[in-house]
Amino acid sequence: MMNSASQVSPSDLSSDLHIVDLSNTQRQHRGATALIRGKLIADLALIAFLLFTAQPAPDPILIGLLLADLLFLIPYSRIVRQNPRAIAWATYLSFAITLAFISWHLHTTGSLISDQVAWYFVVVPLAAVIIPRAQTARVVAGLAIAAYLLISLAEVTGVAPAPNPEPARAEYIPILHMIVVTLAIAGIGFVAARFFASVEEYRESFARLVEQNRYELLWGTVGKQVITAQSLDQVLTVIIQTINKDINVESGSVLLREWDSNQLFFAKILRGDAQHFSSLRIRVGQGIAGYVAETGQSLIVEDATRDPRWYSGVDRVTGFVTRSILCVPLIAEAETIGVIELLNKMDGSFTPDDLRLLEAMATQVAPTIQNKRLQEQMRNAQFPSGELFRKIEHAKQEWEDTVDAIDEGIALIDEQCRILRANRVLANWINTTPAQLIGRHCFEIFHGGDTPPPDCPHMRLLETGTPTEGEVESSVLGRTLHLKTYPLHDETGNHLGSVNVWQDITAEKRLRAQLIQSEKMAATGRLAASIAHEINNPLQAIRGCVDLAQATSDLEKNKRYLGMASTELERLTAIVRRMLDFYRPARAERAPVDARALVEDVLLLSAKRLQHARVSIHTDWAEEIPLINGAADQLKQVFLNFILNAAEAMPQGGTLEIRGQVIHDEGTWLTVSLADSGHGIPPQDLDKIFEPFFTTKPDGTGLGLAVCHNIITQHGGHVTVDSAPGHGTTFTVWLPV
């Protein structure tokens, strides 16, 4: 129904926020499923053990508690499937039954050395996996303590029988048991709760960052392009293309109110033949679009045919079938000048998130639409001059108010780096007014220097004439800023300068560094077993040399043994140094980096892990590998993550081929390809693997590849992936030389 539009905006974080909620649900269901399976096996095994091995007869209370625990799994599984909100309380109740059994068994045996005591130290972290909140560990620990305390009190009051009487058993033994168990559970509970609470905090922080970046990218694709648009048609084209990118719908249109009538006309359509709409008019108040134009209120209509406000005339003319509608008003100068209407979302129903997204877009572009319409009317001389200039002045003021409301610094910069105009946010950063910024050099304001800094995005735009961007460290403001520049032309196409947009990413950069360090710790954990084995070998050799040296008085032999021990100590020192170099927080300073040496260092760090996984390494590097400008610590993390993922994709062993070469493709690139012979990635998952919190591993966080993608993007590069089920996977890292 609408004209097809190419996509105009990059999307570094294109995942919707419901991914985060889905991740919570998946984690809870996986944890609950593991709990059901584990308890089913354990309960059946313990019942069989008690029935066939207990002498002279099994304890009926133990059998009863096990049966209660087993039978509760039936309603528990239904609760997990049908009511996710009740998972927490169902889990607590399930653990209460288990802990009652453990407490009774511990009480009746009279000894801490019992097979069932270990359950005390398993249930606390397992509960924290299902419900990772700080109070989880305290609740489960409290249940365990209460269960044992109630049984002890029942014995004292005579309600419950005492354990097998033994003359040697002291009266303080139950109290000692309770104290030891309380301390142990409290300690494990505290550690587990803190760990999962910190993971949850990182996840929520990243979710907020995803949401913030999504709306900032929206403004990056709409607001900053309409500022430099030359005509109303270009402005509407940007709007329609962004709608097609961010809200996948069958149809959509921008309807504007005619100057001299109470009617709406189709100013821009998404796809289809525009001739169908050229003569169509809708009265204000007619249909859903007319209702929104009349009231100024946004609407979501789930079933258009059942809504009494729906008008079917457009469908009869175009042959389109309308099912659902999302419509928001375009308001400028306190007047509704039109509406944006979307029809039939293709991947479900319209959501409040879609509504907020479209309202934000409409608020940003409405003043510009009004301004462009006034300019066209002035050229066509269809208004009296006094009324026209009044409307232009109001549109200019509204445009300035809109730009001032944006939480990013915006300025127009000429070819000599002088500020022509600036918004209030930029002025507030420097504790001045927009008027006082006019005529000052931008490099003086941000860097306190006399000349532009090296690699200035504005200077690069002047050289190339194309939009550029880059990260700017402002020592004067004490902020880290992301600068985007857009070319600025006059009406005849002459280059005047650029539109500069500064985004404060100081907090985002700090959070990104925390996420990188968190994933680095996770990678260290994946290497822990192989590193421990690698450290153990030289330790055993050193111990053997020392024992031999102590067993002989021959000086020559002692010298040889000590020399061997010294060699092993140097080997041990090198292993620990490599591990510590990787584990420390990543340094973000850029410097020339030898990618080949860096990858070989990572292979040394992961050598034992690859050896245990029976993975053979084949490397193929070009003769000349140029240096790249990058942060070595961060790039090490990227390649280690890809190597460990490749090893995990080949559980039966296999081959990992690493190839480095230089490619000339719109610039000079160093590419490093890592090709494994594993099981491959399903086609439906290929476009999701770099999304935050997407994972196919039962114990994965879904942040590893997202962090890698972010690091490479920050280096000005990108990652490509080629995979097919059963034919392995190849990740290729492209880094600019």
* Band (6; pLDDT cuts 50, 70, 90): very low
Equal CATH topology for 224-399 and 510-736: no
Q: Residues 6 or more apart from 374 whose CB is under 8 A from it? A: 388, 391, 392, 395
Please state, rounded to an integer, the average pLDDT across all residues of the chain.
75
Residue 78 structure tokens: 């239904």
Residue 637, phi then psi, degrees to nearest 5: -60, -40
The runs of H, that is alpha helices, within 247-323 are 287-295, 313-318
Residue 299 structure tokens: 């609407």
Top-confidence range, 67-71, 127-131, 337-341, 364-368: 337-341
Residue 356 reports pLDDT greater than 70: yes
CATH superfamily assigned to domain 224-399? GAF domain (3.30.450.40)
**Higher pLDDT pick, 113 / 480:** 480
Residue 733 reports pLDDT greater than 90: yes
pLDDT value for 292? 94
Q: What is the mean pLDDT of residues 122-136?
A: 61
pLDDT digits (tens, 9 = 90+) for 676-721: 998 888 888 877 787 766 677 766 656 677 778 878 888 888 899 9
CATH assignment of 407-504, given 3.40.50.10320, 1.25.40.20, 3.30.450.20, 1.20.1250.20? 3.30.450.20
Q: What does the angle CA 640 – CA 646 – CA 647 come to, to the nearest 5 degrees? A: 90
d(CA 593, CA 596): 9
Q: Where are the domains of the chain?
A: 18-209, 224-399, 407-504, 510-736
d(CA 216, CA 360): 11
Give the class (CATH, top level) of 510-736: alpha beta
The structure's pTM equals: 0.39
3-state secondary structure (DSSP) of residue 608: helix
The runs of H, that is alpha helices, within 11-133 are 18-53, 60-82, 87-109, 120-130
- Using the CB atoms, write b or e for 205-219: b if 16+ within 10 Å: ebbebbeebbebbbb
Q: Residues 6 or more apart from 701 whose CB is under 8 A from it? A: 199, 519, 522, 693, 695
Q: Which of the residue ranges 344-348, 436-440, 549-553, 639-643 would you say has the lowest mean pLDDT? A: 549-553
**Higher pLDDT pick, 173 / 610:** 610
Residue 241 reports pLDDT greater than 50: yes
Query: Exposed/middle/buried for 532, CB within 10 Å: 0-12, 13-18, 19+?
Result: exposed
